[in-house]
């Protein structure tokens, strides 16, 4: 199997890394975790980040056949529907997205939301393989951050989504609905059992304290030795304590509510209402004295 060509695109407003992965022989390519530019304050969405990826693919002569999600992101809106509209690429995600849809359908009172995953073109099972030209991609099911996280493995390269971060930053949070810190630990151990030279590509970077530049590629060997949360010798019990304490200090992601309700629909916005406008739902819980406002 040839070595894939990889090009990263970093979206600083959401600290997200998207990738073009291409087969040098057939020029077929996949986008991984593309970002839609969404301004929550203005209520506007733009496609400049996806357009930059599409422009790069066109200039390289690539045919984009897949747009792949590692999970339903809580910090940015997916650009996959736009990629599909422009290229005909199929949208893929892990089959456990159905569990995430079941969790969030009542949260947003989204009676029109399908919970069978059929908004996506392909639901991947653990161990399943598919092709990008002459490249063989293996799916690794890595739940914990959410119930539906998967990684994409191509030879000795793995796109890990939010399961792992750079060694000096640690690991993903596990306190979202359906998250499970114990499953996260076991998923990470599965990744760290791969060959030491395996290259790992992150979905996010936030520049750990003391590091001045963004980074998104490391190796299994480097994670085993240096990950601040889960390096070799850290037990499941110790990791659970570390991760749970860390999660208790974290605020909800800024784009959590718009991101989730769009991304569980394969990146599509809710249907337009009678006035032609699409609306996102923001659930509000009234506590304390605010209960008098109803």
The structure tokens listed for 60 are 């390289």
Token pair 């395996």: residue: 198
- DSSP one-letter string for 81-110: HHHHHHH-PEEEEETTHHHHHHHHHHHTT-
**pLDDT confidence of residue 91:** 98
294 residues of the chain, pLDDT tens digit each: 899 999 999 999 999 999 999 999 999 999 999 999 999 999 899 999 999 999 999 999 999 999 999 999 999 999 999 999 999 999 999 999 999 999 999 999 988 899 999 999 999 999 999 999 999 999 999 999 999 999 999 999 999 999 999 999 999 999 999 999 999 999 999 999 999 999 999 999 999 999 999 999 999 999 999 999 999 999 999 999 999 999 999 999 999 999 999 999 999 998 889 999 999 988 988 888 777 777
List, in sequence order, the alpha helices (H) in the chain.
48-60, 80-87, 97-107, 181-192, 220-226, 236-247, 256-263
Fold of 5-293: Metallo-beta-lactamase; Chain A (3.60.15)
The structure tokens listed for 107 are 């949260």
d(CA 174, CA 96): 16
Query: The pTM is what?
Result: 0.95
Domain parsing of the chain, residue ranges? 5-293
**pLDDT confidence of residue 100:** 97
Q: What is the dihedral of CA 123, 125, 126, 130, to 10 degrees?
A: -70
**pLDDT confidence of residue 291:** 75
Measure the N-to-C terminal CA separation of the chain; round to a whole number of Å. Answer: 63
């Amino acid at each position: 199997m040839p070595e894939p060509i990889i090009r990263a695109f970093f979206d600083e407003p959401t600290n997200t890394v998207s990738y073009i992965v291409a087969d040098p022989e057939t020029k077929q390519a996949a986008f991984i975790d593309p970002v839609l530019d969404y301004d929550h304050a203005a209520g506007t969405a733009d496609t400049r980040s996806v357009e930059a990826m599409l422009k790069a693919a066109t200039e390289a002569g690539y045919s984009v056949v897949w747009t792949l999600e590692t999970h339903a992101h809580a910090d940015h809106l997916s650009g996959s529907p736009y990629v599909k509209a422009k290229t005909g690429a199929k949208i893929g995600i892990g089959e456990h997205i159905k569990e995430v849809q079941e969790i969030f359908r009542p949260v947003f009172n989204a009676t029109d939301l399908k919970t069978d995953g059929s908004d996506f073109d392909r639901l991947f099972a653990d161990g399943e393989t598919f092709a990008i030209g002459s490249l063989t991609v293996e799916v690794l099911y890595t739940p914990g951050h959410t119930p539906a996280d998967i990684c994409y493995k191509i030879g000795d390269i793995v796109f890990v989504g939010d399961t792992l971060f750079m060694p000096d930053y640690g690991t993903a949070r596990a306190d979202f609905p359906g998250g499970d810190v114990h499953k996260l630990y076991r998923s990470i151990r599965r990744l760290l059992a791969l060959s030491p030279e395996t290259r790992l590509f992150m979905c996010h970077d936030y520049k750990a304290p003391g590091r001045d530049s963004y980074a998104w590629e490391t190796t299994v060997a480097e994670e085993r030795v240096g990950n601040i949360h889960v390096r070799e010798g850290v037990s499941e019990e110790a990791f659970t304590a570390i991760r749970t304490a860390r999660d208790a200090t974290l605020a909800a992601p800024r784009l959590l509510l718009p991101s989730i309700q769009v991304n569980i629909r394969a990146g599509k916005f809710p249907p337009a209402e009678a006035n032609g406008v699409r609306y996102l739902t923001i659930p509000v819980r009234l506590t304390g004295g605010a209960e008098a406002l109803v």
